[in-house]
Amino acid sequence: MEDEIKAIIAELKEKGLMVRREPLKRGLGWKAESGSCRANDDKILFIDRRSPLSEQLTFLRAEKAKLL
């Protein structure tokens, strides 16, 4: 699963997206989730490294599908 995640990240980067896979902040009663945003003209994907690999892969596959 990890290899597929890395392969999709590489594909997305080739398409010009910034991909950041890191532990996202969590606090009492809330947590950030994987998602995308825009900063100026850059599209950035944030992937919560603490999420199960299956969730990370599902998110990446969905983002990849949006580009097709």
Q: How far apart are CA 64 and CA 52, in angstroms?
A: 19
Total domains, the chain = 1
* pLDDT value of residue 26: 82
The pTM of the whole model exceeds 0.75? yes
User: What pLDDT sits at residue 30?
Assistant: 84
Average pLDDT over residues 10-34: 91
Q: What is the DSSP string of 11-66?
A: HHHHTT-EEEEEPPPEETTEE--SEEEEETTEEEEEEETTS-HHHHHHHHHHHHHH
Q: Name the average pLDDT for the chain.
A: 93
What range does the domain containing 26 cover?
2-67
